[in-house]
Chains A and B, each alone.
Chain A
Amino acid sequence: MKKRIAKQTAMAIVTSSLLLSAMGCSQEPNSVKEEGASREAIITLGRVVGSDNKFKNGESIEDNVHTRWAKEKFGIDFKVDWSVGTGEAYDTRLRLLLNSNDKLPDVFTLNNPTLENQVVDSGKVMDIGEAFEKYASPRLKELYSQYPEVWNAVSYDGQHYGLPTFNANSSFSVLWIRQDWLDQLGLKPPTTMEEMETVMDAFVNKDPDGNGQKDTIGLSLSLKKGVTAVKDTYMVSSDFLFGQAAIPTYWTEAADGNLQYGSIQPTVKEGLVKLSEWMSKGYLDKDAGIMDEAKAAESFVQGKSGMVFGPTWMSTYPFNQDMGFDYRPIPVPAGVDGKVGFGSEPQSSVRFYFNKDFKHMDAFFDYLDAIMGPGFYDPDSEFANGWAEGYDYVMVDGEPVYDQDKIPGGWIDVKKYSIYGNDIQTPKKELEVMAKLGRGETPETPYEKYFSARPKKWGEAAAVLETYLDDSAVFDRYTGPPTATMVQKGELLRRMENEAFMEIIYGQKSPDSFDAFVEKWKSSGGDDITKEVNEWYQAVNAKE
C-alpha cells in the first residue's frame, strides 16, 4: 500500500513538473536582428511538424539539408519560433498570437479566409505590393499577371496584404465510362444530356453486366453534402450537369458584371429536374443522398455503375488494378444549358502573409523562385529530380531513382522542410506533363520521367481534360472571408438549399418548389449576402 502511494505521488509530481516546464517554455526571446552588409537574412517561422515529418542524420526542422541549402545559396537563416503538430494547431497558435499581441512569425501561410481577414485587420501584416514589384522574379510576375483575379483573396482597398499561391488546377474533371458496356450495347460515348440519358437507360435496363438481374446504375453520385461541386464534394459530384451558366453554391459573374449565386439560377432548376427524373428511373443509386464520396464511388469500382464524374486522379484512388473491366475517361457531356462546364477547384487555397516588420522580402522572393522550380516544371531547376539527393532520390548511372529501398538511411520527404511544406504548384503545368504522357509521347524532362510511374489512365484522362479545361472550368469568384450576413445566416440558407434540392431530387416535392425556395432564400438573407458579396467584388477590383 505504502509503495503504491509513493509511486502515485512520484507520478503526480512528474506530471505537474512537466506541465510547469512546458508552460515555462512558451516565452521565447524575440529574434529580430539587423541586416548585415552581405546578406544574412533571418526569417522566423512557425512550423507544423507532424508525425509524417521524418528526419535522419540527426537533422531537425531548423537544421537540415534544405535549410543548409537556403543558408548557403541565399544567406537565409530559418529560425523556428515555435512548432506544432497539426495544421489545426498552427491556426490556433496564430490566433492566440494575434489575441495576445505577440510577435507573428516573419512569414507564415494560412488557408482559412476568416482567420486571414482577422490577420489583415490586425494591421500586423505587410502590404506586399511594392516588394512584389521590386523583388519577384520575372516568371513569377508573369504568372501573377496571367491570373490577376488570384489577388482578390488578399486585396483590401486595392492593396495586396499577402501572396496567394496557386493550385495545380490540373485534375478536374472528366467522365469515366464503361467502354465494354458501350461496345456491348453498340452505343457511342455521350456528348449531350440527351445522349447521356440514352446511355444511362441502356446501362440500367439492358443488363450490361449480363447477370440477368437489374442491378446496375447509370451514374454514381454522392449527394450527402447536397448538390455541390468540388469545393464540398471532391469527386463523384453532379455539377457537370448544370453546364456553365450556373454551378450550385458557386458565385459567378453575371452579364451585368455583378456576382450572382449559382444555386438560385433557373438552369439549376432544370438540372434538378433531370436529377429527379434520373432518380425515379433508377439511373442513380437510391442511396446517393446518404453516401459520401468514397462510398458512392464504390459502385463504379465494383462494376455496378456505368459512369462516374470526377478528377483525373481517380485512376489512383479509388480506382485500382483489380478492376477487371474496360473503362476510360471521356470529355464531360454538355450540361442543361448546352455547354460543357463544371465547378473548378479554387485558383488559390493557401496564402503567404508577412510580418509588417519583416525586412528581407528580397531574400524571400529569391528563395520562393527557387523552390517554385518544380511547380513551374522547369527542367533547369536544381530541384528537377527531387528536393535533395540521398533524401527523396538517389542518382544511379546518371538517372534519378525514387525507389525508397535504394536510398541509404531511408526516404525522406524533404519538401516538408521548405517553408511551404509542399510543392508550390502553378496552374495547369502538371496537366501539360500528364497529358503529354497520356498521348503516348516519350517522357523527356525529369518531371515527365517521374510522372510516367503514375497509372496510364491518369495520363489518358489528362489528355482528355486538356482539350476542354480552359473553356469549361467555372471558378467560384467569391474568395473573400464570410460576410456579416454569411456568418449570421449562411448556415440557415445552406440548409434550406440542401433540403429543398434533395426534396426535389427524391420526388418529395415538385420541381416548382424551386421557385419558392429562391424567393425564401432571397428574403431570408440571400439578398443581403448578394449585396455584400458585390460590395466586396467592387472593392477588390477597385484599383486594379
Chain B
Amino acid sequence: MTEGKKIRRGLFRHLPLHLIILPSVICLLIFNYAPMAGLVMAFQDYKPRLGLLKSAWVGFEHFQYMFTYPDSLQVIYNTLIIAAFKIVANIVVPIVFALLLNEVRKLVFKRFVQTLVYLPHFLSWVILGGILTDILGNKGIINQLILLLGAEPVFFLGDGTWFRVTVIVSDVWKEFGFSAIIYLAAMSGINMSLYEAAEIDGAGRFKQTLHVTLPAMVPVILVVGTLSLGNILNAGFDQIFNLYNPLVYKTGDIIDTFVYRVGLMSGSFSFATAVGLFKSVVSFVLIVAAYRLAYRFGNYRIF
C-alpha cells in the first residue's frame, strides 16, 4: 500500500470525526480568517462610506507615518521594555512559586494558598485601577509604611520610572497565582520513582528540585515561553489604560493606548489597522523563531 492510499483510507475511516470538526473549522474560517480581508485597510485611505473596494490605495503611507510620528519610537520602546519584563517575570515568578508550593507538606495549607493567590486574576483592571490608586497614593498604605521607615513617599503612579515598576509588579502580582497552575500540574505528572532514585543517590530536597523537577518541567516552560513571546508587543492595554495619566506618558504610553487615542478617538481606522498589522507580523515572526529555537535546543515540537 502506498503512502497516499494509506492517508486516503485513514481519511475515510475517520470521516465521522472530520465531519464533527467541520463546524468548528467553518467558524474559524468565518470569524478568524474572513475578517483578515479587512487588513487591506492598512494600505488604503479607508473611508467607511466608500468601503474596502472603493477606498483609495495609499501603499505604505500609514506605516511610514507610524515610524515618522515623533512619539512612536518612544511608544514602541516603552512597549518592548514593559512587555519584556512582564514576560520574563511572568515565567520566573510562577515557576519559583510553584516549586516552593510543591514542597509544602500540609495539603490544606497548600490548597488555601493556591486559591488565595489566583483570586486577583479574576479582578478586572477597571476595579484594580481604583484600588491601586488608593493603595499607592501619597496617603496610601504603602507610602504610610515608607514614611514609617523614615524614607520619602514615592509617587508610584505619577513618576515615570516608578510607573513601569508599578505596572510590571502589579501585573505579576495579579497573574502569578493563575500562571502557576500549569506548572503545578506539570509537577504532579512527574514519575515518583525518579525522586526515589535521586534520594537513593543521596540527593536532598534542593538537589531533587534542581535535577528532577526542573528538567521535567522544561517542555512546559518552553511552550509557555514560546507562546508568550507572541505578546512582546502587548504590554497590557487594560492595565495601562486604567493606570496611566499625562505625568507618565513618557515611560508608560504603549502602542495599544497610543493607537486607542489616535485611531479610535479621531477615527483613523487605516492607521489603527496598520499598527495592528505591524504588531501581528512582529509577533508572528517571533513565535516562529522561538518555535524553531525550542525545536533545535530543546528538541520540542508542538506540531
A residues apposed to B, CB below 8 Å: 5, 8-9, 12-13, 15-16, 19, 95, 98-100, 114-115, 118-119, 121-122, 215, 223-226, 285-287, 289-291, 295, 482, 486-488, 490-492, 494-495, 498-499, 501-502, 506, 524
| Contact indicator B27/A16 (Cβ below 8 Å) | yes
Of chain A, the residue at the smallest CB distance from B134 is A295
Instruction: Check: B118 CB closer than 8 A to any chain A CB.
Output: no
List the 10 closest pairs (A to B, CB-CB), nearest first: A498-B246, A12-B23, A114-B267, A286-B138, A290-B157, A16-B23, A98-B49, A122-B49, A287-B137, A502-B246
Check A501–B246 contact: CB distance below 8 A: yes
* Most chain A CB inside 10 Å of its own CB: which residue of B49, B51, B130: B49
Task: Please tell me if B71 contacts chain A, counting CB pairs below 8 Å.
Answer: yes
A286-B159 Cα distance, complex, nearest whole Å: 12
Is B266 a contact partner of A490 (Cβ separation < 8 A)?
Answer: yes
| CB neighbors of A among B261-298 (8 A) | 261-262, 265-268
A121 touches B49 (CB 8 A): yes
B121 within 8 A of A: no
Point out the residue from B20, B69, B250 that lies within 8 Å of A12, measured CB to CB. B20
Q: Which of B51, B139, B245, B261 has the most CB of A within 10 A?
A: B245
Given contacts A226-B246, A487-B267, contact A492 B20 (CB under 8 A): no
Q: Tell me the complex Cα distance, A223–B158, Å.
A: 11
Contact of A499 among B49, B134, B250 (CB under 8 A): B250
Contact check, A289 vs B133: say whether CB atoms are below 8 A apart: no
Please report the total number of B residues contacting A with Cβ < 8 Å: 37
CB neighbors of A among B233-252 (8 A):
243, 245-247, 249-250
Return chain A residues, CB-CB under 8 Å to B141. Answer: none
B-chain residues with CB within 8 Å of residue A490 when the two chains form the complex: 266
Does A8 lie within 8 Å of B20, measured CB to CB? yes
A99 CA / B70 CA spacing, docked (Å): 33
- Which residues of the other chain, A, contact B139 by a CB distance below 8 angstroms? 215, 287
A124 closest partner in B (C-beta): B49
Of all chain B residues, the one with the shortest Cβ separation from A114 is: B267
Give CA–CA (A94, B178) in the complex, Å.
41
Please give, as numbers and ranges, the residues of chain A lying within 8 Å of B133 by CB-CB distance.
Answer: 287, 290-291, 295
User: B65, B157, B253, B267: which contacts A482 (Cβ < 8 A)?
Assistant: B267
The answer to whether A492 touches B137, judged by C-beta atoms less than 8 angstroms apart, is no
Q: Which of A5, A215, A225 contacts B20 (CB 8 A)?
A: A5
B residues near A494, Cβ cutoff 8 Å: 261
- Please state if A99 and B48 are interface contacts (CB–CB under 8 Å): yes
The verdict on A498 contacting B138 (CB below 8 Å), with A15-B23, A100-B51 known, is no
Interface string of B48-74 (1 = CB under 8 A from A): 110100000000000001000111000
Q: Which residues of B contact A291 (CB under 8 A)?
A: 133, 137
Report how far A98 CA is from B46 CA in the complex, Å: 13
Q: Which of B93-144 contact A (CB under 8 A)?
A: 130, 133-134, 137-139
Q: Is B26 an interface residue (CB 8 A)?
A: yes
Taking a contact as CB atoms closer than 8 A, the residue among B20, B49, B157, B250 that contacts A118 in the complex is B49
A-B contact list, 10 entries, CB within 8 Å? A15-B23, A19-B27, A115-B48, A115-B267, A225-B246, A290-B247, A487-B267, A488-B268, A490-B266, A492-B71
Measured CB to CB, the residues of B under 8 A from A are 20, 23-24, 26-27, 30, 47-49, 51, 65, 69-71, 130, 133-134, 137-139, 155, 157-158, 243, 245-247, 249-250, 253, 258, 261-262, 265-268
Which chain A residues border B48 with CB–CB below 8 Å? 95, 98-99, 115, 118
CA distance A9 to B20 in the complex (A): 6
Query: Nearest Cβ in chain B — how far from A441, in angstroms?
Result: 41
Out of B20, B30, B155, B266, name the residue touching A491 (CB < 8 Å).
Answer: B266
The residue on B at minimum CB distance from A481 is B267
**With a CB–CB cut-off of 8 A, which chain B residues contact A9?**
20
Q: Give the tally of cross-chain contacts (CB within 8 A).
A: 99
With A and B bound together, what is the CA distance between A122 and B49 in angstroms?
7
Taking the closest CB of chain A, its distance from the CB of B191, in whole angstroms, is 27
A286 contact set on B, CB distance < 8 A: 138, 155
**How many Å from the CB of A111 to the closest CB on chain B?**
14
CB of B247 within 8 A of CB of A289, answer yes
**In the complex, chain A residues whose CB is within 8 Å of the CB of B65:** 488
Q: In the complex, A223→B248 CA distance in Å?
A: 13
Q: Could you tell me the distance between the alpha carbons of A92 and B265 in the complex, rounded to whole angstroms?
A: 14
Q: Could you tell me the distance between the alpha carbons of A422 and B86 in the complex, rounded to whole angstroms?
A: 46
* Chain A residues within 8 Å of B24, by CB: 12
State in angstroms the CA–CA spacing of A9 and B24 once bound together.
10
Contact B247 A502 (CB under 8 A): yes
Is A491 within 8 A of B158, CB to CB? no
Q: Name the residue on B nearest A12 (C-beta).
A: B23
Interface centre among A487, A498, A501 (most CB of B within 10 A): A487
State the CA gap A68–B20 with chains docked (Å).
49
Q: Output the residue of B69, B155, B247, B261 with the most chain A CB within 10 A.
A: B247
* Docked pose: A290 CA to B1 CA in angstroms: 72
B245–A224 CB distance below 8 A: yes
Q: By the criterion CB–CB under 8 Å, are A492 and B69 in contact?
A: yes
Q: Is the CB of B27 within 8 A of A290?
A: no
Chain A residues with CB under 8 Å of B70's CB are 492, 524
Decide: B266 and A114 in contact? CB cutoff 8 A. Answer: yes
Q: Is there an interface contact between A289 and B245, defined as CB atoms closer than 8 Å?
A: yes
**Chain A residues, Cβ within 8 Å of B155:** 286
B201 CB, nearest partner CB in chain A, Å: 42
With A and B bound together, what is the CA distance between A337 and B157 in angstroms? Answer: 33
With CB as the reference atom, state the residue of chain B lying closest to A291.
B133
CB distance from A14 to the nearest CB of B (A): 9
A99-B49 in contact (CB<8A): yes
Which residues of B are found within 8 Å of A100, using beta-carbon distances?
51
Residues of B within 8 A of A118 (CB): 47-49
Nearest Cβ distance between residue B1 and chain A, in whole angstroms?
A: 28
- CB nearest to B130 among chain A residues: A295
A8-B20, A118-B47, A289-B158 known; A16-B26 Cβ under 8 A: yes
List, in ascending order, chain B residues with CB within 8 A of A482's CB: 266-267
Q: What separation, in Å, do the CA atoms of A19 and B133 have in the docked complex?
A: 43
Asked whether B23 lies within 8 Å of A495 as measured between CB atoms, the reply is no
Measured between beta carbons, the chain B residues less than 8 angstroms from A115 are 48, 267
Which residues on A sit within 8 Å (CB–CB) of B137? 287, 290-291
Q: Which of B48, B138, B158, B246 has most chain A Cβ within 10 Å?
A: B246
Chain B residues contacting A488 (CB-CB under 8 Å) are 65, 268
Find chain B residues with CB under 8 A from A502 CB: 245-247
* Nearest CB in chain A: distance from B100 CB, A: 34
Residues of the B chain whose Cβ atoms lie less than 8 Å from the Cβ of A121? 49
**A120–B133 CA distance with the chains assembled, in angstroms:** 43
Task: Please give, as numbers and ranges, the residues of chain B lying within 8 Å of A119 by CB-CB distance.
Answer: 49
Q: Tell me the complex Cα distance, A491–B263, Å.
A: 9
- When distances are taken between beta carbons in the complex, the residues of chain B under 8 Å from A499 are 246, 249-250
Q: Which A residues touch B30, using CB under 8 A? A: 19
